[in-house]
């Protein structure tokens, strides 16, 4: 995970509202979490727009609060090595040369036992596709090494301030 770039945005320290299908919880606190964005991953790197940054921020908050919603904020600059890898899944994930580079980064995270949070894009206009497509496109070594072993819980992003 050497090739990572920091995801920053002006409102990264503002509270965000995160919820599930049945409740809303306000999130704000002085905790720090490193969220690297891989330049090899589609929609990231220098062209990372605010929407992807918001999704990464929301995913970091969700991962860090599996059982108890805790108050988090993303601070700049992030640590040199992230605490979690956020993997944005769309129709370009693991495709072409960028996909090969991403495979190396994801395998390094698995080897280092770095927690991986996956965001599955559902909006077709943004590259959303059925999850089966991700299973088919994911390199066999990553599947064999446990990329999809954890059971996912649905989260619904309601609003970001």
Q: State mean pLDDT over 50-55.
A: 64
Q: State mean pLDDT over 3-7.
A: 38
Task: Report the relative pairing of strands 156-159 and 5-6 from DSSP bridges.
Answer: unpaired
> Which pLDDT does position 126 carry in this prediction?
86
Measured over the CA atoms of residue 51, residue 55, residue 60 and residue 62, the dihedral's sign is positive
Single pTM value for the model: 0.49
Please say if the pLDDT value at position 39 is more than 80.
Answer: no
- 3-state SS of the chain is CCCCEECCCCCCCCCEEEECCCCEEEECCCCECCCEECCCCCCCHHHCCHHHHHHHHHHHHHHCCCCCCCCCECCCCCCCCCCCEEEEECCCCCCHHHHHHHHHHHHHHHHCCCCEEEEECCCHHHCCCCHHHHHHHCCHHHHHCCCCCCCCCCCEEEECC
Contact 73, 29 (CB under 8 A): yes
How sure is the predictor about 132, in pLDDT bands with cuts at 50, 70 and 90? confident
Q: What is the pLDDT of residues 145-156, one digit of tens each?
A: 999 888 655 555
Average model confidence (pLDDT) for the chain?
Answer: 65
């Amino acid at each position: 995970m050497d090739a990572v770039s920091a995801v920053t945005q002006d409102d990264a320290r503002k509270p965000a509202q995160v919820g599930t299908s049945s409740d809303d919880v306000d999130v704000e606190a002085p905790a720090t979490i490193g969220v690297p964005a891989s330049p090899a991953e589609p929609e990231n790197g220098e062209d990372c727009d605010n929407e992807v940054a918001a999704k990464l921020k929301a995913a970091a908050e969700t991962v860090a609060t599996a059982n108890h919603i805790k108050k988090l904020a993303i601070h700049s600059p992030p640590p040199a090595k992230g605490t979690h890898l956020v993997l944005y899944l769309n129709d370009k994930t693991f495709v072409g040369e960028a996909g090969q580079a991403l495979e190396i980064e994801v395998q390094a995270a698995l080897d280092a036992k770095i927690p991986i949070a996956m965001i599955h894009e559902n909006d077709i206009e943004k590259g959303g596709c059925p999850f089966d497509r991700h299973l088919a496109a994911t390199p066999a070594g990553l599947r064999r090494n446990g990329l999809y072993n954890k059971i996912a819980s649905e989260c619904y992003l309601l609003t970001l301030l």
